[in-house]
Structure 1
Amino acid sequence: MRRFIYLDTDTLNSYLAQIFDGLIQSEDSETQHQKKVNKQNSVTTSLAGKIALKLFGKGVDANAQATYQHLKTVADDEMVRDVQTKIMHDNAFDQFMNYLHEHNLLNGADVGDFLIVKDEFYIFDIAFYQKLFVKDGFVDMLTQIQDMNTRKEAEKQTEEFAREQRRSKIVQDKVNETVQEALDKNHENWDSLKKMVEMLAAIIPYPRILCISNYAVVLDEKYMRDNISTAAFKYGGKITVVGYITNKVMAQANSPISTFSSIGNSMNTLTKVFFENIDEMYIVHPVAIYYGD
C-alpha cells in the first residue's frame, strides 16, 4: 500500500486530460459558517462517465460507483471532503502509471522524459541551513566548542614537553601560532559554508529540494500531503519518486553562447553541491512521491 507524501494533482489532471481526451472536474461550494459541502463532479461528454468509475478502482466498479455516489451527495465535515478528493486523486495516479508502463515511458534520461526512481534520500532545506548560521545560533555554539577543544588539545600536548621547553618563549609563541592557525582555518570553513548557503538561497527558487540518487527533485508546498522534512525520520528506508526531467546539469558545461549564458551555467554547476562524485545531475519535477509499492 502506498503512502503519498506528495501528489501534484494539477499536473496529474493535465496528463489525464490528454490521455483520456477529457478532464474530470470537481466543484465545491462551501459557506463560511457551515462545514457543508455539496459535491458535484462533471465529466465531459466524450468520457460519458466511464473514466469516473475507472478512477475509483479497476475490477470493483460496482463498489466504486456506490462509494462515488455516496460521497458525491453527502453533506459532512472536512474529513469526508478530503477522503473523496484523495480517492479520486489516488486512483487517477494508478491510471496515469498504467498508461506510462503500457507505453514504456518510464525509462527517460533526457529533458522531458518521465522517470521513476526508488532510493534513499535527504532534504536540502535552504531555510533550515540559514537558521543554523544566525547570530548566537547552532553554528556559533559549535564553533565555540571546536575552538575550546582545539585549545585544550594544544595544552595537553604542551604538557608533554620538558619543563624548559614549556618555559621557552619561542616554543610558547610557536604553540600559540599553531593554535591560532587551526582556529582561523575552522572559522574560514564555516564562513565559506555560510556564503555558499546564502548564494544557494539567492539563486534557487525552491526552499526545499529532495535529493535522491543523482536527481534533484523540486518541491511545491501546495502539493504536500505530509511534512517532507520529517518523512525520513517517520518512515525511514527508501522512497519512490515519479516525475519528469526538466534540466540536465553536466560536470563540464559546453562553451556558453554569451556571457549571460555562462552565468546560467555557473548556477547549474553550483547546484552540484547537492551530490558528490557524479558526472551529471537531473532536475526533476515530481508528479508523486510516496512510500510503499
Structure 2
Amino acid sequence: DGMNREQLRTTGKAIKSELKRLIADSDKQYDDIHDIIVAFRQLMPYTRMLISRDGYLIPMDDQYFRINPNNLGFKYGGEITCVGMITNIIGADTDPNDPKNIFATLQFTVNEVLRTILPTDAQNLCVIHPIAVFYRV
C-alpha cells in the first residue's frame, strides 16, 4: 500500500523474474523426463511388446497380426502361447571384454540396463519374433 510507482515496478519485476525462474525449473524437470524416455526408446527397438516373467520378450509388430495389436490386451486374455524364432538374447552372461566383439562393452551395458528396467525375473531374456500367437481364455 505504501509503495511509490518505482518501488511497485521494481517489486513487480522481481516477482516476474522469480516466477519465470520457477517455471523454467519446472519445465527442466519435464525436459529431463522426456530425455530419459527418448533414451529408453532408443535402447529398445520395439514400440510394442509382450514380456513374460520367465524370460521372453515378444515384439508385437503390426505385420504379424490379423487384428490391430493395440486391441490385443482388451480383446483377449488368459494364457498366451507363442510360436516363433529366438533372434536375440539379452543376457547376464555377455562378456564385456570379449576380444572378438568390438562392441562387447556397449552390448554388455545395454543388456544390463534393459535387464534392470524390464519386469522379468530371468537372467537371460530371449527375444522371440512370433510366427503365431495363440490366446486361450
Shorter-chain TM-score: what band?
Answer: 0.5 to 0.7
Shift of 1:192: 6.7
Structure 1 partner of 2:23: none
Q: SS of 2:73's equivalent?
A: helix
In structure 1, C-alpha distance between the alignment counterparts of 2:120 and 2:34, rounded to whole Å: 19
Structure 1 partner of 2:105: 262
Normalising by structure 1, we get a TM-score of 0.31
Please tell me whether the aligned partners of residues 55 and 121 of structure 2 are also in contact (alpha carbons under 8 angstroms). Answer: no
Q: SS of 2:39's equivalent?
A: helix
Structure 1 partner of 2:83: 242
1:217 to 58, 61, 64: 58
Alpha-carbon deviations, 1:199-222, whole Å to 9, x = none? 122233322222124111123322
1:232 to 64, 70, 73: 73
The one of the two structures with greater contact order (alpha-carbon pairs below 8 A, sep at least 6) is 2
**CA shift in 2, pair 1:192/1:252, >3 Å:** farther
**CA shift in 2, pair 1:192/1:280, >3 Å:** farther
Structure number with higher helix proportion? 1
Aligned-residue Cα RMSD (Å) equals: 2.9
**CA shift in 2, pair 1:219/1:235, >3 Å:** closer
Q: SS of 1:277's equivalent?
A: coil
Q: In structure 1, what residue type is equivalent to 2:90?
A: V
* Number of aligned residue pairs: 107
Normalising by structure 2, we get a TM-score of 0.61
Shift of 1:289: 0.9
Alpha-carbon deviations, 1:116-140, whole Å to 9, x = none? xxxxxxxxxxxxxxxxxxxxxxxxx
Please tell me whether the aligned partners of residues 55 and 120 of structure 2 are also in contact (alpha carbons under 8 angstroms). Answer: no
Q: SS of 1:289's equivalent?
A: strand
1:253 to 78, 94, 103: 94
Structure 1 partner of 2:132: 288
**CA shift in 2, pair 1:282/1:231, >3 Å:** same
Moved over 3 A (4+): 190-196
In structure 2, C-alpha distance between the alignment counterparts of 1:241 and 1:231, rounded to whole Å: 14
Please tell me whether the aligned partners of residues 96 and 107 of structure 2 are also in contact (alpha carbons under 8 angstroms). Answer: no
Shift of 1:191: 7.0
Superposition pairs of residues 111-130 of structure 1, within 5 angstroms = none
Question: Unaligned stretches of 5+ in structure 1?
Answer: 1-183
Question: Unaligned stretches of 5+ in structure 2?
Answer: 1-25
Structure 1 partner of 2:45: 205
Alpha-carbon deviations, 1:243-263, whole Å to 9, x = none? 121222223532333552211
